[in-house]
Amino acid sequence: MIAREAVRVLVANWDGSYTVPSRRLYPHQWSWDSAFIAIGNARWSPRRARIELLSLFGAQWRDGRVPHIVFNPDVPEGAYFPGPEFWEARAPSGSATSGIVQPPVHAMAAWQVHLAEPDPAFLRRIYPRLVAQQQFLRTARQSPEGLMSIVHPWESGMDNSPAWDIPLAAVVAGPMGVRRRDLAHVSPDERPTDRDYERYTALARAYRDTGYRRAGAFAVEDPLFNAAYGAAESALAKIASAVGLDPAPHHAEAARITAAMVEHLYDDGLFHGRDAGSGILLRSSSAAGLVPLILPDLPREIVNALIGTALDRFEIKRGLLPSFAPGTAEFDPARYWRGPSWINLTWLVWQGLRHRRPDLAELLADGMVRAVTTSGFREYFDPFTLEGHGCRDFSWSAALVLDLLC
Ligand code: 9WN
């Protein structure tokens, strides 16, 4: 029943070659959404999953970056802010895009799509594009310590996480001068504040004005983003082997980034962000700090410490992972990435626990199914009451629950 409903949502949000995250709030193609959606679509239509990923990579830039939004030219101007007229960017394919990126979870998705229905031709097509995506990060975003930076909170995928409060406060911004479109669909208590948006637009504008080359006042090494990069190298190793190429460089790069993360981002049971400019650790209680559990070769003692934190501070025995630890001053159970549970974060940590602590993974799988059964495929959920928030019929909530059920 739930699986059938999930497919209904994915079908309703399909736009011919990709899936919108949500019809009204996010009417274009988003980068990491497409990866999660492909993982779910692989369960009932691997062909659709392959098309989803290939259409996203069709808008890849010459420098290898995969833009975080690919705009649908048929959607009326002003339906989403900031739209193509703000970003002023175009892929070589001609598509209007944004100029920033999102966590590179796509190689992981491509491998899962291949597992659902082996297709070496698909792997051969997508592999060089996935390699170029990683290469862009190494070239444009790597610090001397070997970690990848994000240059905008939107690049973390966890826009208004309290983890970014300090670096974001340093961004000087005037009034936006544009009407926010998100508030036409969702209550202001469940979204970032106007002050956040002023800074988001100022940062994006500053990056845009350098031709998307030089970071503005925000450059941060995020544990989720770096974990996705490392997990991508592990997935690329599998893909390389499957198409008859040498997996060794990918294994080596996965090991290298895992070690760099442990050395520079880990402290006291959790991974943290780090300010790329000052090198200062941005200690916080964000669930992003647990996502490195997706790294296959994380040292055992770190895995155990992360599991301890997940149990004590994130209370995952309740079945859902809050995006920020309850019991902290910043925690807000209804405001976007400041506490609510999201299916994608819970699913990532579930992946990391599946082979290490199947008992806990099962609790999370049950929790995700319970959340959507109680409240529908909402965008995010109160971790305690399971009340749904944000938009309805949200694609990755449907896709990832479908993955669990199949
Ligand atoms: C900005 C589409 C995206 C997700 C992000 C989520 C939200 C956009 C917004 O929606 O961000 O990219 O307008 O708030 O934070 O993770 O990819 O679902």
List all residues 6 or more positions away from 180 whose beta carbon is below 8 Å from its beta carbon.
Answer: 81, 194, 197
Question: CA torsion, points 165, 166, 168, 169, in degrees to nearest 10?
Answer: 100
Q: Which of 196, 379, 382, 403 is catalytic?
A: 379
Q: Which of 155, 159, 393, 403 is catalytic?
A: 159
How many whole angstroms separate alpha carbon 386 and alpha carbon 144?
Answer: 43
Query: DSSP per residue over 42-97, as a string?
Result: TTT-HHHHHHHHHHHHTT--TTS---SEE--TTSPTTSSSS-HHHH-EE-TTS-EE
CA nearest ligand 1 atom 10, residue: 26
Residue 145 appears among annotated catalytic residues: no
How many whole angstroms separate alpha carbon 391 and alpha carbon 406?
Answer: 25
Domain total in the chain = 1
| Domain region containing 272 | 2-405
65, 135, 73, 71: which is closest to 100 by C-alpha? Answer: 65
64, 219, 255, 80: which is closest to 144 by C-alpha? Answer: 219
The pLDDT value given to residue 176: 79
Amino acid at 34: S
Question: CA torsion, points 168, 203, 292, 362, in degrees to nearest 10?
Answer: 90
How many whole angstroms separate alpha carbon 397 and alpha carbon 377?
Answer: 6
For residue 156 the two structure tokens come to: 């973390």
Ligand 1 centroid–CA 47 distance in Å is 25
Q: CA Rg, the chain, in Å?
A: 19
245, 260, 329, 320: which is closest to 287 by C-alpha? Answer: 320
Sheet arrangement for strand 96-97: 29-30, 69-70, 96-97, 89-90
How many whole angstroms separate alpha carbon 320 and alpha carbon 159?
Answer: 20
pTM of the model: 0.98
**Domain containing residue 91: CATH number:** 1.50.10.10
pLDDT by position in tens, the chain (length 406)? 999 999 999 999 999 999 999 999 999 999 999 999 999 999 999 999 999 999 999 999 999 999 999 999 999 988 999 999 999 999 999 999 999 999 999 999 999 999 999 999 999 999 999 999 999 999 999 999 999 999 999 999 999 999 999 999 999 988 877 778 888 888 898 899 999 999 999 999 999 999 999 988 999 999 999 999 999 999 999 999 999 999 999 999 999 999 999 999 999 999 999 999 999 999 999 999 999 999 999 999 999 999 999 999 999 999 999 999 999 999 999 999 999 999 999 999 999 999 999 999 999 999 999 999 999 999 999 999 999 999 999 999 999 999 999 9
How many whole angstroms separate alpha carbon 291 and alpha carbon 271?
Answer: 9
Best residue for ligand 1 mutational test, from 69, 97, 154 (most atoms within 8 Å of Cβ): 154
Ligand 1 centroid–CA 74 distance in Å is 20
Sheet arrangement for strand 220-221: 220-221, 273-275, 281-282
**Ligand 1: which atom is nearest the Cα of residue 191?**
14
Residue 52 appears among annotated catalytic residues: no
Query: Ligand 1: residues within 6 Å at CB?
Result: 21, 26, 30, 32-33, 68, 154, 157, 159, 182
How many whole angstroms separate alpha carbon 266 and alpha carbon 111?
Answer: 28
The pLDDT value given to residue 190: 87
How many whole angstroms separate alpha carbon 266 and alpha carbon 260?
Answer: 9
CA nearest ligand 1 atom 8, residue: 154
Q: What are the beta bridge partners of residue 29?
A: 70
Q: What is the ipTM of this complex?
A: 0.99
Residue 254 · residue 230 · CB < 8 Å: yes
State residue 282 phi and psi, 5-degree precision.
-95, 80
- φ/ψ region of 22 (left if φ > 0, alpha if ψ in -120 to 50, else beta) reads beta
Q: E strand or H helix at 275, and its extent?
A: strand 273-275
Q: E strand or H helix at 30, and its extent?
A: strand 29-30
The pLDDT value given to residue 177: 76
Q: 227 in helix, strand or coil?
A: helix
How many whole angstroms separate alpha carbon 343 and alpha carbon 23?
Answer: 18
Q: Report the half-sphere exposure of 169 (CA within 13 A, side-chain side).
A: 5
